Structure formats: structure tokens, C-alpha cells
Amino acid sequence: MELAHTFVAVAFVDDLPLEWVTPLLERPHVTPHELHGPCPGGGELFAFSFGALVFHDVAAASRDDLLDALRDQHPRLVPDVVREDFTVFESDGARVGMTGGKLVVDRLGTTRAAVVALTVAQSVAMETYERIVEGLFVRTRDLLDKLERRGVVPLRTRPLHRFIGEAVGRRSEVLSTLHLLDKPEATWDDPAMDRIYDDLQAEFDLGDRFTALESKLRAVQDALEVLLGVARDRRLVLLEATIVGLILLEVALGLAR
């Protein structure tokens, strides 16, 4: 007998405090970084503090009701449009592994479901960060284009300071969130679970995506620091010119007297 298990991941723009999700479930199990518990309409929910929810075998109506309740209680929690679906097939005696983009297991269980949910959550969170970082990259490229065309940058450095702070903050978020790419403890005592985790990592291409994301963030930060240096040099030149002008004015006034 073969059973199909559906995992639906939803990402948020910011971190998700787990205490916001706890009242929506009955007897949830909470750890410092994740939450797991049965949903009122059936199925189970996995919540991750880095800003993702994963619904396992939860009906669409129940999923929407829970999301609506969460948004009603916490309006500042901004959902992203990113959603990701993944299917796991459970079949007695099946060989564990990926087949046609789908995971096949001989048995699922809560522990294996938690590893699947974590990987899908990381993927959907990664996609959210990819969109945010792409926006930062486009803004940086616009500033560099203006520097290339005009040879100067705006004299005001405060916007650049804020932009650099935003880029550094996003990079810190990515690094702190995706350190969870380390293998979870559940894989240590289950060789099949270890293979499942490796297959899922490869299926969602999480390692390469993380490397590309970090490289793009570093490029944005480096480019902004160059722009800030150019802006400071321009301000110093204007300051020196102003000082020379004041000295010449003082000399001219002295001669006039």
C-alpha cells in the first residue's frame, strides 16, 4: 500500500517568534528553534523561528484558517508570496531515495517528517532571501551605473550608510538562519535518514544556493563600501576647496583694508 504525504511550506519576510504559533496548536512540542504539533483539522504543523511554516498532510481550508488566525493576531507579520510543495511517498518495503523529484520511503514517522519539513522550510526561506538580495543587488547596480556615467556619487553619505547597514543586516540574517544546513541530530542514528537528508539537500540544491547567496551579499557590501569611499573623497575635496577659498577671501579682505 502506498501513501502520499504532502508538505506545504510558507515563508515570511521576517523571523517568526514561536510563541506566536504556540496558542494555535494543542500540546505543541517546542524547542529553541522549532515547534511541532498536531493541527486542529488533522495533519501536523512544523514552525521554524527563521520565518517558515510547514504543513504536513493539512487540508487547504485548515491551513488557510491557521494562517488567517496568525495574521489577525500579529498584523505586522508579513507573509511572502513564496510557497513550496513537496510530496513523500510511503510504501512498505520500498527502497529509500529520490525518484523523479519525489522522495520514496519505506516508512515516514515523525522524526523523518521533521527532517523533510526542515529541508523544505530551508528551501522556501532561501528563496525569500534570494528575492530580497536580488533587490539589494539591483539597487547597488543602479548606483554603480550612475557612478560610471557621471563619475560622481551623491554628496550625502547617510543613505549609503543606511544601505550598507541593510546589506550587512541581511547577510547576518542569512548566515544565522542557514547555519541550520548542518545535519540535524535525527540523522545520526538512522542511516536511511542520513541518506534522505543528503538526497533532499541535493534535490533542493541548498548548498550551491547558499554559496551563491552569500557571494552576492558580499559583492553588494563591497560595492557599497567603494561607493561610500568615493563619496567621502568627494566631500574631502570640497572641504579642502572651501578652506582654500576662505583663506583666499581672508587674504583679499586684508589687502583691501
Host domain of residue 181: 124-256
Measured in residues, the chain has a length of 257
Secondary structure class of 13 (helix, strand, coil): coil
Q: Please check whether residues 133 and 220 belong to one and the same domain.
A: yes
Residue with the bigger pLDDT between 206 and 166: it is 206
Whether the pLDDT of residue 196 is over 60: the answer is yes
Which one of 54, 76, 106 terminates a domain? 106
Q: Please check whether residues 154 and 248 belong to one and the same domain.
A: yes
Domains in the chain: how many in total?
A: 2
- Read off the pLDDT band of 55 (50, 70, 90): very high
Q: Where are the beta strands (DSSP E) in the chain?
A: 2-12, 29-30, 34-38, 44-48, 52-56, 79-91, 97-99, 102-105
Residue with the bigger pLDDT between 16 and 240: it is 16
- The percent of residues above 70 in pLDDT, for the chain, comes to 85
Cell 544601505 identifies what position? 163
User: What mean pLDDT, rounded, does the chain reach?
Assistant: 80
Q: Please check whether residues 67 and 135 belong to one and the same domain.
A: no
CATH for 100:
3.30.310.10
pLDDT of residue 165: 77
Q: Please check whether residues 131 and 236 belong to one and the same domain.
A: yes
Q: Please check whether residues 100 and 152 belong to one and the same domain.
A: no
Give a yes or no: residue 119 inside a domain.
Answer: no
